Amino acid sequence: MHIGIYPGSFDPVTNGHLDIVRRASSLCDKLIIAVARNQDKRSLFATEERVSMLIECCSDDINNVEVVSFDGLLVDYCRQKEVSFIVRGLRAIADFEYEHAIALMNKKLAPDVETVFLMASAEYSFVSSRMVKEVASYKGDISSLVPDCVIPRLMKRLCSV
């Protein structure tokens, strides 16, 4: 069984993330979407909320996906779950430099786990969770950038911050 893992903070999940999920899920028998519990990063949504949004977004049309959260080193989690490869989405050259360094470190720590890079689809190549939050904070239209279920949660969270 080929198991892939798509790790990230997903704060919040965007349509770009879901595009990568759909494409990556066709490359493996099972795709684990792994929401990182980042202690160094201040998240807008709690880990459980991010997991919940991803489950809701994937439940209708992607059958081979499991959404989880994890702590610690990704490669340790990969070994525990017998993951074959890590999926990373790339939007631009700047993403590649950062992701390349992480892939090399992961390969050093877990030589048996590959990293697969998927280029963002053109329509999502500029979308990031950070930009979505900024546009939403000014009440801009984010309807083409995030799944419908994210919009009310995001607007409620930003209005109460």
Contact 12, 129 (CB under 8 A): yes
Q: Which amino acid is at 10?
A: F
- Look up 37 and say whether it is catalytic: no
Q: How far apart are CA 113 and CA 3, in angstroms?
A: 10
Contact 95, 61 (CB under 8 A): no
Nearest to 50 by CA among 17, 10, 84: 10
φ, ψ (nearest 5 deg) of residue 110: -140, 80
- Look up 91 and say whether it is catalytic: yes
Contact 31, 87 (CB under 8 A): yes
Write down the catalytic residue from 22, 23, 81, 91: 91
Write down the catalytic residue from 84, 88, 129, 133: 129
Catalytic residue list? 17, 41, 91, 129
